[in-house]
Amino acid sequence: MSKIPRKIKKFNDKDRDSLYQIIESRRDVRDEFLPKPIPEGVLRRILEAAHKAPSVGLMQPWNFILIRQEKEKQAIKQLFDKANKEACLKFEGEKRELYSNLKLEGILKAPLNICITCDRNRRGDVVLGRTHQKNMDLYSTVCAVQNLWLAARAENIGVGWVSIFHEEEMKNALNIPPTIDIIAYLCLGYVDKLYEKPELEIKGWAKRFDLDELIFEGSWNTRHD
Amino acid sequence: MSKIPRKIKKFNDKDRDSLYQIIESRRDVRDEFLPKPIPEGVLRRILEAAHKAPSVGLMQPWNFILIRQEKEKQAIKQLFDKANKEACLKFEGEKRELYSNLKLEGILKAPLNICITCDRNRRGDVVLGRTHQKNMDLYSTVCAVQNLWLAARAENIGVGWVSIFHEEEMKNALNIPPTIDIIAYLCLGYVDKLYEKPELEIKGWAKRFDLDELIFEGSWNTRHD
């Protein structure tokens, strides 16, 4: 292993197109999970991809809790159901009606759930790159989530990110210590069908923004053209 | 465009291997940037990849501020230099000596810098999926950063994430309103050489963890074997 930078592998158009197709066709999956189990070797590749995420000061603050047992998933599903009722009440009229008809999780249907956490003390108090941006360790963990999500899609496995629960209740259910933050609760399973656009857009919840409106040149709110 | 889930593109071993090689060879780049400009078409593809990230409630809370002018980059570099002196003092003895010899940014060397922000009010007060996890909008923006990073690597472009600055000073420099959060300041440029392992490991700052130690089964701290 060289101690100086080495000539890199140059990716070609085919590599690049594979990545762009994976990114383009990645969806947040709630209902399309197939019961087929995920082989251990495939799961290992997906977790390796997550573990290769960038992390501030090489902190690698993540852990992966694998949840496969029906009983465990049932307990989590109850936490979701309770929180989802609360969330639904935040909307009014037609929006509440629409919300209550959305399926927002696949906890029981997905053969595997993964809770990804962040240990904010993993490398001690002082971490290179986190002195001024305290959230960098949380963000590193999210990079691992996104690596995992894309790796799963490349394995023809769908992922759904569930964020509707009380963190303290989830910590109790999974025996997670108070000093550890939950970043993501993910549902994973093979898929053979997916929506072609984000499900929330298909179902009339919201529309995607035009990228052009979101790009500035040189400083905030300054357009190129 | 179908309103129901459709048969998906199945990725094959070659697509999957391309993604894994991109993830494996992605580095946080500080000094290997080449001066060659990034064509607008390539930049557009990279930003499209970022814009296709998952986001809570289809919030898409991100903006991309492109910084290309020498004068603008010089101003940012000054913010970094000031903060980096402060950060260096957090370490003592040999660690401080080692820190002071690390190159931690490529602001001037990289032909393009991109500041990625999060507008926490983009879809109003109530956002589907953010009622219980308030950070979900920040995390969505980090997913966009990671998509961008992998897309850049597939285009043979390196990315370095700079987190050593005072957020308020960066906001002033880029005219970013108080209600907007800065998530990432990135340096981008073509590369033909990279380290084969994380630079912080090569330079003796820290070692990577073994993935096996980070995986639990069913609940926190419970091992499979």
Q: Is A13 a member of any domain?
A: no
- C-alpha to C-alpha distance for B42 and B36, rounded to whole angstroms: 13
Q: What is the pLDDT along chain B (225 residues), one digit of tens a residue?
A: 678 999 998 999 999 999 999 999 999 999 999 999 999 999 999 999 999 999 999 999 999 999 999 999 999 999 999 999 999 999 999 999 999 999 999 999 999 999 999 999 999 989 999 999 999 999 999 999 999 999 999 999 999 999 999 999 999 999 999 999 999 999 999 999 999 999 999 999 999 999 999 999 999 998 765
Q: What is the pLDDT of residue A212?
A: 97
Q: What is the pLDDT of residue B224?
A: 61
Tokens 């904010």: give the residue.
Answer: A120
User: Is pLDDT above 70 for A214?
Assistant: yes
pLDDT band at A39 (very low <50, low <70, confident <90, very high): very high
Tell me what the pLDDT averaged over chain A comes to: 96
The residues, ordered by sequence, that sit 6+ positions from B176 with a Cβ below 8 Å of its Cβ are A219, A220, B65, B115, B117, B170, B182
Least CB-CB distance to A19: which of B22, B197, B221?
B22
Q: What range defines the domain where residue A140 resides?
A: 48-204
Strand partners, A119: A180
Number of independent structural domains in chain B: 1
- C-alpha to C-alpha distance for B71 and A139, rounded to whole angstroms: 29
Least CB-CB distance to A132: which of B16, B60, B166?
B166
Task: Tell me whether residues B63 and A9 touch, CB distance under 8 A.
Answer: no
User: Is pLDDT above 60 for A192?
Assistant: yes
Instruction: Give the type of residue at A162.
Output: V
Q: What is the pLDDT of residue B3?
A: 87
User: Is pLDDT above 70 for A170?
Assistant: yes
Q: Please state whether beta strands A62-67 and B215-217 pair in parallel, antiparallel, or not at all (unpaired).
A: parallel
Task: Tell me whether residues A156 and B64 touch, CB distance under 8 A.
Answer: no
Q: Is A72 a member of any domain?
A: yes
Q: Check if the beta carbon of residue B122 is closer than 8 Å to that of residue B41.
A: no
Q: What is the pLDDT of residue B225?
A: 55
User: Is pLDDT above 80 for A199?
Assistant: yes
Q: Check if the beta carbon of residue A51 is closer than 8 Å to that of residue A213.
A: no
Tokens 């550890």: give the residue.
Answer: A180
For chain A, give the percent of residues with pLDDT over 90.
Answer: 96
Displacement of CA B13 from its chain's centroid (Å): 27
Q: Is B21 a member of any domain?
A: no
- C-alpha to C-alpha distance for B204 and B152, rounded to whole angstroms: 27
Q: Is A34 a member of any domain?
A: no
DSSP at B82: H
- C-alpha to C-alpha distance for B133 and A14, rounded to whole angstroms: 38
For chain A, give the percent of residues with pLDDT over 70.
Answer: 99
| Residue B213: other Cβ atoms inside 10 A | 9
Q: Is B195 a member of any domain?
A: yes
Contact list in B for residue A205 (CB cut-off 8 A) is 57-58, 128
User: Is pLDDT above 70 for A213?
Assistant: yes
Tokens 């240990």: give the residue.
Answer: A119
pLDDT band at A7 (very low <50, low <70, confident <90, very high): very high
Mean pLDDT of the A86-103 span:
96
Q: Is B142 a member of any domain?
A: yes
DSSP alpha helices (H): ranges in chain A?
A: 13-25, 40-51, 70-88, 93-101, 136-154, 167-174, 199-202
Q: What is the pLDDT of residue A224?
A: 61
CATH number at residue B161: 3.40.109.10
Instruction: Give the type of residue at B144.
Output: A
Task: Tell me whether residues A214 and B64 touch, CB distance under 8 A.
Answer: yes
State the complex-level ipTM.
Answer: 0.98
- Taking one residue from A and the other from B, the number of pairs with CB-CB distance under 8 angstroms is 333
Angstrom CA distances, B160 to B146, B191, B198, stand at 11, 12, 12
pLDDT of A106-164, one tens digit each?
A: 999 999 999 999 999 999 999 999 999 999 999 999 999 999 999 999 999 999 999 99
Q: What is the pTM of this model?
A: 0.98
Interface test with B, best of A47, A120, A219 (most B CBs within 10 A): A219
Q: What is the pLDDT of residue A106?
A: 98
* Smallest CA–CA distance from A98 into chain B, residue: B128
Contact list in B for residue A14 (CB cut-off 8 A) is 14, 18
Q: Is B97 a member of any domain?
A: yes
Counting Cβ atoms within 10 Å, is residue B24 exposed (0-12), middle (13-18) or buried (19+)? middle
The residues, ordered by sequence, that sit 6+ positions from A208 with a Cβ below 8 Å of its Cβ are A197, A198, A201, B58, B60
**Angle at the Cα of A89 from the Cα atoms of A83 and A92, rounded to 5 degrees:** 150
Contact list in B for residue A31 (CB cut-off 8 A) is 5
Q: Is A11 a member of any domain?
A: no
